[in-house]
Copies of this chain bind each other. A is one copy, B any other.
Amino acid sequence: MLTGAFISAAIAMELPGPGTIYLGQTLQFRSPVTLGDTLTVALEITDKHSSRPWLTISTIVRNQNDKEVARGEATVMAPAKKETVTVIPPPAVQLLEDPDSASVDAN
């Protein structure tokens, strides 16, 4: 399902992009994904509703060896006009060996 999160991010940020409402997703998991793999998400709009802004998007995820690890279809409602979004970079994170030191450092 981490794979699914990458698809979700690609839809929300790229195609159709910000303002998209995610209605549904099907996914078949074809091959295992392991630590260190590099995944590429390919999106292709395959169908458009005749009157409503509903799109069907083919979603295929491949690993660094071009092996298909997952495929499926997304159903989305596309935004009616172009929208932009400001992405705030996530804060830096430090892993703490000793959980107790977290509260100490936070004070």
Of chain B, the residue at the smallest CB distance from A98 is: B92
Interface centre among A29, A72, A94 (most CB of B within 10 A): A94
Q: Is A40 part of the binding interface, using a Cβ–Cβ cutoff of 8 Å?
A: no
- The stretch that binds B, out of A3-11, A41-49, A50-58, A79-87, is A3-11
Complex copy number for this chain: 2
Interchain CA distance A99-B93 in the complex, whole Å:
8
Contact of A91 with B by CB under 8 A: yes
A-B contacts, 20 of them at CB < 8 A, read A1-B1, A1-B5, A1-B22, A1-B25, A4-B5, A23-B28, A24-B27, A24-B29, A25-B27, A26-B26, A91-B95, A91-B96, A92-B96, A92-B98, A92-B99, A92-B101, A92-B102, A94-B94, A94-B96, A94-B106
Interface on A for B, CB 8 Å cutoff?
1-2, 4-5, 7-8, 22-29, 72, 91-99, 101-102, 105-106
